[in-house]
Amino acid sequence: MAPSSLMPMSAKYLPRLHITPADEHELKNLADESLRETMHLYEEYLYVNRRQVDKARWKLVKEYEGTQVFKEREDRSAVDAAAAESLSSTRNKRHTMEIGPKAAMAANSHMPLMLMSGTAQGTIDDALYGVYSDDTSTMRTRGAYGKDMMEDLAMLASIETPTLHDPFDHLNVAWMLRDFPGLNAIARKRDFLLIDKMGTTTTSRGERVGYYIVHSIQHRDLPELKQAGIIRGLLSYCLVFRQLDGERIELFNQTLVDPGGSLMAFVVVPETAKTLLANGNVIHTAHKKKLFYFMRKQARLNALTASHVNPSPHSNSSSSSENSDASVPARYQITRRLVSDHCASCEKKIGSIFSSSGVFCQICQRMVCGRCSVKKSIVIEATERKLVLKPFVFCILCTLKAKNFPAAQIQIEELRERRPLF
């Protein structure tokens, strides 16, 4: 039964999508065209404009810590004319990609294109690991870390899956529900039905880049949810990562958001700009996912040890129930608190007048001082109905180990866990 206008919409009401071979062919073609368009846009920015934004075309909207977000200026007549001319030529010659799905969408929208450029600390694989999601659970985890302001989301179909050679490559069909906090009185909810594609490729000059692309689609099994009072929006989003040096990546994004209905650009542009400024969060997301990977490894080791060893009542380790948090699942409770009067990291005496009290690292379970520890909120459970985000303490050494651990290696191991035949 379709939800009424008084019933809150959620992913549980969505039908299963039946993807026919013809659908699959069409979606793959759209994804390939979107990737070609994305690489054309990025190479123009990188090689032609030498990483400089054309201020005659783009107007700065927001800036934060070196990341800039622009909107296309309102006088788009010259741009649209150039796009129309390009479209005419590509009907005869398809060897260039000067217009693609995003440009076609923009030509029929009153919303401006948005552009983001910036840098972040990390690697291409870190960024891909932060962005990666192949089911509803991983989508919700990414959303919780990235603060993407989506009220609900779901992965509806898988078209292409990763391989050992390309562990981040995939093509899926996703659904997202967007709320507008503070604007509920004037703005109805919007949903988006999208292809979700990511992976790696190379530029025309052989440079490796990572990409993440989403683009609106239509499907007969999921028409607009008018009975729920939801407007179907349009979205075209491309995010590119390129390694600048051993520690930094460049981020480039061009996006069009058309929420439909009567929402004006002065409402949509600031909301979109906030989302684009958060693109750098993919690295923070990757770091937290890495910490959780090592948490799970330690939890499995603890369980294995507990099943083979009967702890001595005179052990120097404190009780597993001491200072435990009943709201945290037992598998993530620290079972062997390695008590010491010195910090395991800096070796300073704990509890002295010149040092803070000791805390236990969630991974190595050693006692460290407050200065040698950090607290991070980690998603320990994410399902279609439930998301559990809890704070945990980690020592600096384990944090750095997780941060520097190869993201692709973790990705492959996690895929093997979830897909035994991978």
Residue 11 forms part of a structural domain: no
pLDDT at position 316 is 45
Question: Would you call 258 helix, strand, or coil by DSSP?
Answer: strand
**pLDDT tens-digit readout, 32-59:** 999 999 999 999 999 999 999 999 999 9
Residue 9 forms part of a structural domain: no
Write the CATH number for 379.
3.30.40.10
224 and 274 in a common domain: yes
240 and 142 in a common domain: yes
Residue 1 forms part of a structural domain: no
Residue 85 forms part of a structural domain: yes
250 and 147 in a common domain: yes
Phi, psi of 185 (to 5 degrees): -70, -25
Write the CATH number for 217.
3.30.530.20
Tokens linked to 204: 């025309």
- The Cα 317–Cα 310 span in angstroms is 13
Q: What is the DSSP letter of 372?
A: G
Residue corresponding to tokens 């741009």: 79
Tell me the residue range of the domain where 28 lies: 16-288
294 and 244 in a common domain: no
369 and 242 in a common domain: no
191 and 128 in a common domain: yes
Confidence of residue 92 (pLDDT cuts 50, 70, 90): very low
298 and 217 in a common domain: no
**pLDDT tens-digit readout, 304-319:** 776 665 555 444 444 4
298 and 252 in a common domain: no
Q: Which residues of 361-395 are buried (b: 16+ CB within 10 A; e: fewer)?
A: bbbbbbbbbeebbeebebbbebeeeeeeeeebbbb
Q: How many domains does the chain have?
A: 2
Provide the mean pLDDT of the chain. Answer: 85
Pair type for strands 208-216 and 231-232: unpaired
227 and 83 in a common domain: yes
Which residues fall within 8 angstroms of residue 103, CB to CB, at 6 or more apart? 37, 83, 86, 87
Residue 345 forms part of a structural domain: yes
242 and 300 in a common domain: no
142 and 281 in a common domain: yes
pLDDT at position 7 is 46
Residue 259 forms part of a structural domain: yes
